[in-house]
Structure 1
């Protein structure tokens, strides 16, 4: 016969934040985030707390998404029986504790809708698969402390520091979720390791994408003009806009306002997580307008109908052209150098053109404008410079800085 109480399945699913009693010391705790977990409050017979009062303690019974109301009542009854016999449930209860890998896989599934794209989501779980699961994946989640975490981090902390740093963040997330579900207690070992300075400090080396000199861009662009492949059109557009590869290749026609000569790249494809407006120049429009005849959903269509070019298409084109030591992303740096050395525009105009965040959070809160008109003037000058005949560049490049 099932135990009964005040709560029902429907209430468990819909009650708001707070502590909701079922009776006999069993509570449903709903966090502000919406996470739901069971706890039971018992008084251990014959045991006293530091003040000499009866030892009354709360014990987690697991998250309400994995522990049903009847299971929670059964476990609460088991804890009360042990406490009545003078046994502390913390050391005597038997519980079904999930492993680290089980919780990690569930976290990955739960967060799938939040990833910017499938690749990012796969990278998240792959890091744990490669460096955490072989060592702690099968361990009960409540038995993982600092020594176990260090087994994962120490071997790669120096040689693969960026990977190790991301691994630490992801382990911390998994352990935090486990605690919210009632499977762990106490401080997160990642936090303790960081606060204690257990791992050595590693000075991160800035990695710069190899870029073409701005002086060489017009000659390179002229060579691109003689190519009709879609990858060449996408690469020309990338050079002119200073946009990231994913932003350009993911372009869809509904993002473009042709009368206003404006492309709005949506937040989902932006590194900043915010919409970014790109003014379209004459040279950019010359690339886009002929592509409308294809009637594709995407601007730069690949081999499959309504599907974009692959991420490697522009880089492979560079290699086929014999352009070595340069990356597609590097054209952003090329544009930035030109903007500072030749156009001599204010820093915020150049940085906003690249969709970089400028200033502190407070400064950005007050600086609401994206300086579109000033950026349009800058992009017009950049397009004019890039599309000039190479023979004219030496004569005209220096003049650009005085305008």
Structure 2
């Protein structure tokens, strides 16, 4: 009889393919085992058992659901085996909540679950993938298979020390992500005591590294009119996008992701939504005559994107403008560097107030308290600054571009 129960327990209605592809809902495998798929796509196992001889508060048989772990780290066969263990205890009158052998998950299992749980909170899919990739490359090979309760300072240092000075920014992010995983493990009862990442930081175990900011190479503002004049002779979409980028001082992703439904031609305004902005806040860009000369003719293409790439209704490649610079043999300059070029011109030539120039670049100005009271984005003052910049770039030589005059 026991053999029969065991055989039934290790078979059921679900298959590995179904586990991976079933939609939201509760899907039964049989013998009390269920796969629960959340609307977010997260998948987890539960088993429902009736504890022999025990009653609930209403006097009915004690029926309880127990979680068996996420389907991304617990396979179908493992779930069936754990469900079998819980059912055997229940048949003996033992409540699995108090009698089941508790398995401590590995660091990688917890990390993968944290990644899934936080998917809705990532700024974008790329950011979420970077989060788990850092752990995959530098933590999983060394501590991924270790039970999460056995990881202390020596194990964390195994991950951080080799890259602490050579790749300091990566190591700093790695330490933050390891700390998050261990904090979650503690909150779920799999660990106790101080987080080893905190202990390492407080004890100054690792050497101090002075990180030098990496500035994007920029063109001198005096050279921009001649460069822009050469750009105007080119008909490629990448040239038009680069011209627009120079004039607006926007980031590459903001320009290439620009859609027509963000553009208000009547009010001469482009509103870049918060999800595409580095700072997470929407940004209004006043459109000048020179900017409208670039994008106006493109509207006839009836594409979803203003700067359409080779595929219909798809934007240009992120590398398109940089590769154009290389074809033009413009050395030592990056696309992002044109933001610095504009900022230098605004200070040295236009004498623009700091807050106007910084807001034109979608930078946050002042402390949190100051920003709480300063609700305006200085649109009209920025409109005048961008008008002067466009006229300078377009080659109005000999004109004085002093913002304060």
Same-fold status (TM-score > 0.5)? yes
Distance across 1 between alignment mates of 2:104 and 2:315: 45
Deviation at 1:132, TM superposition (A): 0.3
Alpha-carbon RMSD: 2.6
Asked if 1:343 corresponds to 2:343, the answer is no
Contact 1:218 1:386 in 2 (8 A): yes
Deviation at 1:204, TM superposition (A): 1.0
Residue 2 of structure 1 corresponds to: 50
Q: 1:328 to 1:5 in 2, by over 3 A?
A: farther
Deviation at 1:7, TM superposition (A): 9.2
State which of 98, 102, 105 in structure 2 corresponds to 1:77: 98
Residue 16 of structure 2 corresponds to: none
Unaligned regions of 5+ residues in structure 2, if any? Answer: 1-48, 67-81
Contact 2:220 2:341 in 1 (8 A): yes
Distance across 2 between alignment mates of 1:156 and 1:295: 49
Asked if 1:295 corresponds to 2:316, the answer is no
Count of equivalent residues: 331
Deviation at 1:76, TM superposition (A): 4.1
Superimposed CA distance per residue, residues 117-153 of structure 1 (whole angstroms, 9 cap, x where no aligned partner): 2222221111111110010000011111111111100
Superposed counterparts of 1:3-402, under 5 Å: 3=51, 74-78=95-99, 94-388=101-395, 392=397, 395-396=398-399, 400=402
Distance across 2 between alignment mates of 1:174 and 1:163: 17
Superimposed CA distance per residue, residues 332-389 of structure 1 (whole angstroms, 9 cap, x where no aligned partner): 0000000000111110110000000111111111111100010000000000000016
Q: 1:287 to 1:331 in 2, by over 3 A?
A: same
Local SS of the residue matching 1:308: coil
More deviation, 118-127/251-260 = 118-127
Deviation at 1:399, TM superposition (A): 5.3
Distance across 1 between alignment mates of 2:303 and 2:387: 27
Deviation at 1:78, TM superposition (A): 2.8
Unaligned regions of 5+ residues in structure 1, if any? Answer: 9-21, 29-65, 80-93
Q: 1:7 to 1:111 in 2, by over 3 A?
A: farther
Distance across 2 between alignment mates of 1:192 and 1:172: 11
Deviation at 1:116, TM superposition (A): 2.5
Contact 2:385 2:403 in 1 (8 A): no
More deviation, 196-205/175-184 = 175-184
Contact 2:106 2:146 in 1 (8 A): yes
